[in-house]
Amino acid sequence: MNRRHLLQGGLIAAGALSATGTALAADVAQPRAGARPMRRIATEEAWSIPEHMEAMTALAQQPSDNLDLVSRRGVTTGGARYANLLDTERRLAEMDALDIDMQVLSLTSPGVQMLRVDRANAMATLANDRLAALIARHPKRFAGLASFAPQDPAAAAREMDRAVNQLGLSGFIVNSHTDNRYLDEPFFWPILEAAEALQRPIYIHPRAPADTMAKPFRDYGMHAAIWGFQAETGTHAMRLILSGVFDRFPRLQIILGHMGESIPYNLWRADHWFNERRPDQRSSLAPSAIFRRNFTITTSGVEDALTLRYCIDLLGADRVMWAIDYPYQAMAPAVTAMNTAPVTEAQRALLFHGNAERVFHIPPLV
């Protein structure tokens, strides 16, 4: 029995609390005697550096009704989420306790996309350098998605190339809209071209609705994860699907969290109306065909067995990856949900690690 198994057993037996204040789940599956547990790679895990947190805190303190800044004001310097974004040792201790082998880290939303262009480029470079250094210290525990500044597509493409070919990062993170604009616009195509050429995916991560669609989301807390995040990010993805972008970049791969930001449940209807108005469509392929070919979804923030079963049946187990959404979601329930999900063991292996290894070019265990 290795250190991780001893630590897990001791913490659970003692009823220890996680770093987020959640009791470590007693029903997390224990490793079989003499067997190594199935590898677990969590694929949407937020992280930050002090310089980024300070820049975003300063932005949030400005008088503004921008919904991202409204959300940001909830991540205070004294709060647990703020600390957990920065504290690698705390993160690793909880990963050890729950037998989480690896997390794929990315700069927390909204990344650098609200900063001035020059500052955004510099912050992305700094964050990518720090992320690569962290991975170098813990190569079996962390992989990373590179940040870039979509405000400057040419510089973004250069940073994407550096991130993969010099820093060894595994893909890219973009936090939905930038200056209320979306990646289907030709202005951003150098970014899509770079991702396709580098054979690395772009994870489109949520942020609050753009100013152009914000008004209905200002009430009832609707701007955040309860509805606004998925409405915004799902809209972004549907713009890409319907725009013809995937005819121009057929090998481009996109990742969506939160079980696909509701798109899987609307694919039949999208296909129906796409075919009803086929002469007016810019894409040569129906939405479901593009989604199955060019998109992978993750389970981040959705620990629901019925939803998982539906997405696997619709898309195939090779298009779904496990994720936690730490520190915005607790680790233990996400582990328990996947341990007990109504899937075959072969499917569980794909969800827990096989798909992540393939999509992010993470070497498999030997």
- Kindly indicate the confidence band of residue 155, based on its pLDDT and cuts at 50, 70 and 90: very high
Query: pLDDT tens digits, residue range 196-249?
Result: 999 999 999 999 999 999 999 999 999 999 999 999 999 999 999 999 999 999
Catalytic residue of the set 68, 96, 101, 325: 325
325 catalytic? Reply is yes
- Is residue 192 scored above 90 in pLDDT? yes
CATH class of this structure's domain 38-360 = alpha beta
Query: pLDDT tens digits, residue range 40-55?
Result: 999 999 999 999 999 9
- Kindly indicate the confidence band of residue 23, based on its pLDDT and cuts at 50, 70 and 90: very low
What local confidence, expressed as pLDDT, does residue 76 receive? 53
Query: For residues 10 and 252, which has the higher predicted lDDT (pLDDT)?
Result: 252
What local confidence, expressed as pLDDT, does residue 28 receive? 41
What local confidence, expressed as pLDDT, does residue 67 receive? 83
- Kindly indicate the confidence band of residue 104, based on its pLDDT and cuts at 50, 70 and 90: very high
What local confidence, expressed as pLDDT, does residue 68 receive? 81
The full 3-state SS of the chain, as one line of letters, equals CCHHHHHHHHHHHCCCECCCCCECCCCCCCCCCCCCCCCCEEEEEEECCHHHHHHHHHHHCCCCCCHHHHHHCCCCCCCHHHHHHHCHHHHHHHHHHCCCCEEEEEECCCCCCCCCHHHHHHHHHHHHHHHHHHHHHCCCCEEEEECCCCCCHHHHHHHHHHHHHCCCCCEEEECCCECCECCCCHHHHHHHHHHHHHCCCEEECCCCCCHHHCHHHCCCCCCCCCCHHHHHHHHHHHHHHHHCHHHHCCCCCEEECHHHHCHHHHHHHHHHHHHHCHHHCCCCCCHHHHHHHHEEEECCCCCCHHHHHHHHHHHCHHHEECCCCCCCCCHHHHHHHHHCCCCCHHHHHHHHHHHHHHHHCCCCCC
- Kindly indicate the confidence band of residue 11, based on its pLDDT and cuts at 50, 70 and 90: very low
- Kindly indicate the confidence band of residue 74, based on its pLDDT and cuts at 50, 70 and 90: low
Mean pLDDT of the chain: 90
